[in-house]
A and B are shown apart, each in its own frame.
Chain A
């Protein structure tokens, strides 16, 4: 259940901060793939949490 709380925190935190993702469009100083890199990082984090949850439930 602690894992679920982390996920809730991630999703709602991400929801509030997500408008920052749009800043890269049309800004040469920011790499165009930055939103995708952040997104990929979140997926990796979710995958890790999912593995942790599986271990917790064993």
Chain B
């Protein structure tokens, strides 16, 4: 091995070691994530477009076509300038459905594994010449620098190291995710090749020439003749070249992967719309300088592509060009190998041998992919050594780019023509590929005479061969795509996929029920296809991505889960295999019911697209939002059910009423709603007449009365279903009940007034007889009896008067006296009367009222109050129970309390204790008027009543405290009414 060869080997391996170190630094987290995920890193990674062609091929092309070489850069710049209308829609589709390659995208759109396989094979054939360029430029550069005949073997060593790096940085993990390390490594290579090109340009401009002025003088002087002799491209050829490079910029396998599968966000891609063209400008700028510098030093440059070597005689200039070329070639080879291996795995290997339920599915796929990465890079070396070395870089490059351009009609149809179908796509591809193979690819392998076969002889001879082949192949491709698509049937699946891919459309997913009823069922079903471990992981990943729980049962959620699993499997095994697995193991349950749109899903997609809508669509979306908000904010509960009883809407008022959030139930089946809603909604749906008034339901521990209205959504523009309004009439029901109760009281009051009137006459008679008795006897016992009869008849009279007063609207007919009343005396009188009842004698009454507390009021009526309170207390007490009467003063009021240790007042009665006819006693034992009258009397005395049951600090019993104004000396006015009436 010569010293020069060893030097180049060490230089190359040293650079690759540096690359490895850079990758490891990112892998181990030594480089901050904010750096590795910076949009600039993404743009630099996109710089992989500038392959060895950009270093060597462009100089060769400049020597043949002048500024025509710029088509390579301007085509790609144009593609990225159109990022908002071209690349962003593709990015949306690839991210939504986890499509990582052009073959995935076409197989998804055209629902055909054949399309995926054809595109993969086309990509393999197209990138081989491009890979050949990378290997050939390496091999030629080594040969040029060292003169060694072992350059091919050294290139093979470099290929082996590059394959190792590709596996290490791009195929290390089983799951598909963004390769930060790989992107950072590719970005690093872009920096190296950019610096190398700028360095070579600077050397040319300021070393070989003496600055820009010297260059201009040379161009006007000695160099003018050579430049004038350089052939120029015709305008149609230039435009065709632009089109080829435009297509290559995002359809070449490696560029598709970086542009769409590895991009962070829409914003990152949009930023590349100006930053990548800037990078390409800087890469393109030195090309003519290097070529002119080489021409100025050597009039007949032997190898235009390696002009940088011949422009100076210094080894380090050659080494700089070599490193730039190696950086460009290694990055391109790594990315092509990784992208192509994924395509071959998904669309050739897995289609030929579908995955079975394996224990280690991920490991199996990973090793297959690694093997394919190595095979692709080795294939590139083989192609370069057996075919590429006999052809110019321009020839090889154009062959690759014309091949990939065959996917351009399909891509445009994918985005803008939903009418295209798989038959048209396959026919167009096969037609275009056939022309391309016969026109430029096969002639690389065989004798040139092949090109004279078929129809090539009819082409114009004054145009370049690549130009004729490009136009013919694309024309055949487009014609077949359109004609076959127009005259053949498009399947339902294709229509659905076309809607998903179309730039302007929103997916109109259908509401189909699934066989699997829970997320757990998903794992069990999927395990039959991919094994237990993989099924568990995939379901878990999908649940996590969707933020669902494993207990999820909502049909809407299960449909989203199915879509997500299909998308994730698509990223792992390609869309064709993923679709087959999901269709087979997670099938929909087909019934005779008409298919309806998944409105909730459509709405969620519309929300996501909001910023992209313009014009009329934006106005309509604004109206949709307005109407949606109207329903959502409606102060009446509203829910919408589909024909299949799936819940489509659950507004805020209903969420508040039911305590169930809309997010947790929308998409559920009616039967899976929490009780009592399934029954309640079911009853209104099955009712022949609505509304259903005041349905009694228990919601979160309270009784509610709900009125339900229903309307069927039918008609020409309707998607079916029912809308149900739920009104809370609990308050109204309570008011109605109160009204009925009040009416009942009023009628009873009138009745009582009548009865009282009738009682009044006999009572008057009894009172008169008692009075007579007093006059007719001297017997003290009889006199006392007569007094008591008179007191009792007075009491009956007052009760009767109260009843009459109550019946007349609660107004007391007898004016309230302002006379003094001693609480102790009243208490004793009341106790005396209670004892006369001859019941409750086993209850202990104690009077603790001080004798000096005098209140303002009517002692008879206050006695009546006390009797009622004592009577109730006595009835509440057990034998030997204690009842205490106490009194005290506070400010201008006296408190007067009756407390017992009885069973207390039931909570259900406490709220209506002072309502008339409220009693807990058995029928016939209590009128329910006692406390009502007491309340009324105390109210008339400008007092109030406090009830404590049980009293504070006691386990049982009741304490009723009356508050009455204290008697003041000036209460007796000169015109005070006579109390003796």
Contact = CB atoms under 8 A, between A and B. Distances in A.
B930 interface: no
Interface stretch (B63-71, B383-391, B462-470, B554-562): B63-71
Contacts of A10: 81
Interface residues of B, number: 40
A36 B285 contact: yes
B239 A26 contact: no
Contact of B277 (A19, A25, A31, A43): A43
A15 B216 contact: no
Given A22-B67, A53-B270, A4 B277 contact: no
A40 to B, nearest CB: 6
Contact of A8 (B66, B82, B235): B82
A26 B228 contact: yes
A18 B239 contact: yes
B82 A43 contact: no
A8 to B, nearest CB: 6
B711 interface: no
Contacts of A18: 74, 238-239, 242
A31 B216 contact: yes
B284 interface: yes
Interface on chain A toward B: helix, strand, loop, or mixed SS? helix
Interface string A25-58: 1101001110110011011001100100100010
Nearest to A50: B274
**Best-surrounded residue of A3, A25, A32, A47 (most CB of chain B within 10 A):** A25
Range for the number of chain A residues in contact with chain B: 20 to 34
B215 A50 contact: no
B277 A26 contact: no
Given A15-B78, A18-B242, A25 B273 contact: no
Interface in B236-251: 238-239, 242
Contacts of A7: 81-82, 84-85, 273
Contacts of B215: 32
B614 interface: yes
Contacts of A1: 612, 614-615
Contacts of B68: 22
Interface string B5-42: 00000000000000000000000000000000000000
A46 B67 contact: no
Interface stretch (B219-227, B352-360, B876-884): B219-227
A47 B67 CA distance: 25
**Best-surrounded residue of A1, A21, A57 (most CB of chain B within 10 A):** A1
A4 B274 contact: no
Nearest to B613: A1
Nearest to A10: B81
B83 to A, nearest CB: 8
A4 B85 contact: yes
A28 B215 CA distance: 11
B496 interface: no
A19 B216 contact: no
A50 B271 contact: yes
B291 to A, nearest CB: 11
B238 A25 contact: no
Given A24-B67, A25-B67, A46 B81 contact: yes
Contacts of B419: none
A40 B274 CA distance: 10
A15 B284 contact: no
Nearest to B246: A15
Given A22-B67, A32-B216, A46 B274 contact: yes
A10 B277 CA distance: 14
A57 B219 CA distance: 48
B613 to A, nearest CB: 8
B277 A42 contact: yes
Interface of B: 66-68, 70, 74, 77-78, 81-82, 84-85, 215-216, 219-220, 224, 227-230, 232-233, 235, 238-239, 242, 270-271, 273-274, 277-278, 281, 284-285, 288, 611-612, 614-615
| Shortest Cβ-Cβ A-B pairs, 7 listed | A25-B66, A26-B227, A19-B235, A1-B614, A28-B220, A46-B274, A22-B67
24 contacts: A3-B84, A4-B85, A7-B81, A10-B81, A15-B242, A18-B242, A19-B233, A19-B238, A25-B230, A28-B224, A31-B216, A32-B215, A33-B285, A36-B284, A39-B281, A40-B281, A42-B81, A42-B277, A43-B281, A46-B277, A50-B270, A50-B273, A50-B274, A53-B84
